[in-house]
Amino acid sequence: MTNPLPLVGLPADTYENHGFLFHSLGDKYVRALAEVSNVLPVMIPSMIDILNLDALLDHFDGVLMTGAVSNVHPPHYGEKASVDHEPYDHRRDDTTLKVIRAVIDRGIPLFCICRGFQELNVVMGGSLETELQRGSGRLDHRAPSSDDINVRYAPSHSVAITAGGMLERIIGKSQTQVNSIHRQGIKVLGEGLNVEAVAPDGIVEAVSVKGAASFAFGTQWHPEFRAAENPDSTKLFNAFGDAVRAHYRSRRQVSYGKSAVA
């Protein structure tokens, strides 16, 4: 009998179509988890007003926050909403901002990508800047205009990796090339976050949570895209998978210990 695989939750995006509300996940995120991290991905519906968050998280040994077309609603980080900040997904905001806080507090492994990376910064008290390409000396961090996903997700610029940080330990490099598919980024870094990598124009590209009990890390770029074919991405998803399995083993030991005492 094979050992059961641990569950990793992914909060969903929401959209309306023909009067009905849908919850969705991108295939590249669940595929990277299943194929590289070797865990079981499970959707968390963005309906936190109905779900019991504590009961829900009792089932998971990891959470991955995905990227999305939508952006975090600016009032969540003290800014006034404008057309430049759109589009929004309020149901996702309501769910993910609570989930991230609870996951960090419980020491559950957490991997945040793109929008998820920005959500992590907001949860930690930071703020976001929109339309980065308009800033003086800034790179254009938006994806190239192309119908070919290989062009849109191709390596776009380098990042300098913080010496002695979590990212350097995982991928073993002082710099690497990443894709770039965003127009917003970190404005003020959230308290309790370590900068793990920066772009040539100074935009923060990766962070970790200071003093986290487990893997708590985020990237502005998209390592999930064909993760099995990219050595850096493979190392990141392997590290996350290892942390998830360690949490799973620890949780089972605690459960068995309590049963033995009982």
Q: pLDDT of 29-39, one tens digit each?
A: 999 999 999 99
Q: pLDDT of 113-137, one tens digit each?
A: 999 999 999 999 999 999 999 988 8
- Which residues are identified as catalytic? 114, 222, 224
Q: Is the peptide bond before 87 cis (omega within 30 degrees of 0)?
A: yes
Check whether 147 has a pLDDT greater than 50.
Answer: yes
Residues 6+ positions from 214 with CB-CB distance below 8 Å: 107, 108, 109, 110, 243, 246, 247
Residues 6+ positions from 115 with CB-CB distance below 8 Å: 65, 66, 67, 68, 70, 71, 72
Element (H, E) at 65: strand 62-65
Q: Which residue has the tokens 């109905």?
A: 50
The reply to whether CATH 3.40.50.300 applies to domain 7-261 is no
pTM for the whole structure: 0.93
Average pLDDT, the chain: 94
Check if the beta carbon of residue 60 is closer than 8 Å to that of residue 107: no
With the C-alpha atoms ordered 71, 102, 15, 10, is the resulting torsion angle positive or negative? Answer: positive
Per-residue pLDDT at 13: 96
**Which tokens hold the place of 5?**
């695989």
Looking from the CA of 247 toward its CB, the CA atoms found within 13 Å total 29
